[in-house]
Structure formats: structure tokens, C-alpha cells
Structure 1
Amino acid sequence: MQYAITGGLGTILLCVLAGCASPELKQAHRLAEQGQWDQAVAAYQDAQKRAPFDDKIRQQLDQAKRAAAAGHYALGKQAYEEHRLADALHEFKQALGLDPSKAEYQAMIADALRMKQSHDQLQAATKLQNLGRVEEALSAYERAVELDPTQTGALARITELTKEQRATKRIGGSEEPLTLRFQNAKLKEV
């Protein structure tokens, strides 16, 4: 008789505990069903704090993290293709933070950084050219092309500056003012 009561009470207790998922877990499931993965990750993390040894919650959290990472990666790819490099970097970093096992996320961060550096070099080169610092501008354009060989603007500027330099050298050499020094000569003789 005591087994029947204890067994029945245990069954009821188990059913109650299984049916009474925490509010955080219920919210996490709802958010995951709606495809709101970032919020689902946060809710699963809250649920995991209440039950840190629950493998099912951990698995659901991992699944939500992978789905959220894939969403951020897709947004990053779109921003990258639209040349919004700061946004792309942000999204790729979010994706990598959620799922560090994906090598493609790391590769896209490297590509986006390289493109951003190329763009920065192009802007610096343009400023240097406008200041008349042609050699430095030429070097900056070359660095921009090294980072991104598809930089047609930088390639055009390199060609333009090189032609100008060759024309200057053919005509008379330098753009620097010519200073003549006559030793042992008097002003009237010069």
C-alpha cells in the first residue's frame, strides 16, 4: 500500500515537474518557434541558469546559438556584398561569437577587414594626392591594390600618377624649384 502511494505520488510529481517548464524555457521555445533566435538564446541562457545540468536545455541553447549565428552570417554577407563593411564586420563578429566553430565566419571577418583596410588606404591616397604628396599617394594606392586587387579606382590613379611622373621626368626632371649655386662668382657675373 505504501508503494502504491509513494509510486503514485512520484508519478504525479514527475508529471507536474515535466509539465511545469520554467517561464524562461516556455518563452525560449516560443521565441525559437517565431525565429527570433537572439532573444531565444537569451531566454535559453536564463533557463539554463535555473537548471544548469539539464542537457536538453543545453542542446536547445546550442541549437538556438547556431541558428542565430547563421542569421547574423547571412546579414553580414548581404552587408559585405553591398560594401557596408562596418555592418558586415559587426554581423560576422556576432556570428563568430555565437558559433566559434565555423571557419567560414572567421574567413569572412578576415576578408571584410582586408576590404576595409583597402578602402581606408584608397581614401588616404586620395588625400595625399590632393596635398601634392605624389610619391606617398602612389604607395598608398599600391597598398590598396595589394589588399584588394579589384580596386579599379586605385589602379586608374596609379596609371594616372605614373604617366604624370614620366611626363615630368621627360620634360625637365623634377617639380622642385631649380637652385643654382655659383662658387666664387660675384652677383654681377651671374
Structure 2
Amino acid sequence: MTSFTVNGQPVHYRLHPDTPLLFALREASNLTGAKLGCGTGHCGACTVHVDGRAVRSCRVPIREIEGTYVTTIEGLSNDRSHPVQQAFAADNVPQCGFCIPGMIMAAAALIDHEDSLSDDRIDAAIPNICRCGIYPRLRDSIRRAARIRSGEERVAASPPPRIAPVDAARAVPALRPPRGVPR
């Protein structure tokens, strides 16, 4: 059994130790914010924090993170008040949204550990792939997030969703197929 902390809650997974963290989070914990994009660690859609570092969860077996603290997009902030979330909303960064949780997690780790946010440093820290092309707004938004974090700038948080994070993560019952469609 593998044990670590996810979003402040201790968890014990009865999964094979080679199970990728992404699948443990999505399938066993129903935390679906991290996405499976490429499965090779290149796209960044699966980015989460392990002990404050941005990691590609599709490439990390759960045996390697025994005893660590994992934070997913669901645990970053319940009310969208994290500086990166505020800046992304204020700058209208998201488009389709598929890559956004991974981008936010990578950007949050960057502003937590880095004071100098040159274009080269941002590009190196966030090589995530976005098919919609949010890149023109991305660097400016990350710099804005750093200013929000340091108190140099204020942005009102986006309104919280109308569903509690706890309710959003629970299983949805299977839908019945239409009449005449075999199960």
C-alpha cells in the first residue's frame, strides 16, 4: 500500500506501486483536474505539485512519492483566489481549458520558487503545450500573478463555482442508454 498526502488529506492507495500518479489521482481519488494528454510527460496537462515542485504526474509512479505532499488543481484554492488563477482569469488566458490546470500548477510552482521572471525562465519552467495558442498572454499573466502574490497588484478573484469542490469530485451515476440501445 502506498501512502502520501493529497490536498491536505492522507491517502493510502491499494494500487500497484508502478501505477502513475495521474491514474491514482483521477481513477482512485476522482480528482480529474490533471488531464491525460500525451502520457509521455511532454504536454504538461497532468502537472501537479509534489512537495511544492511541478511534476508531470503521468510519468511518476506512486512508489516514488511515498510520504510526500501532493497538490492538485483542486487543492490549489477552493475559491479561485490563488494569484495565478486570478491573473489567468483577469487576462482571459483560458480558451478550451484542457491545458489550463497543468499550466496553472506549473506557473504556481514557478512564482513560488523564482523571483526573476524573464521570458527565458518562464519558457523553461512552463514548456506545456496548448493547442489553442494562449502563449501571447501567458508570460504577461504569469508576471501579473507574481505581482499579485507580492502585493504589488490586486485583482478580484473570479466568482467561485456554484458547486462545492467536494461535490464536484464525487462519482456521477452512470446514465441509462436510450431505449433500444443494448447495455
**Normalised by the size of structure 2, how large is the TM-score?**
0.23
- Greater relative CO (CA pairs within 8 A, separation 6+): 2
Give the number of the structure whose residues are more often helix, by fraction.
1
From the CA coordinates, give the structure whose radius of gyration is larger. 1
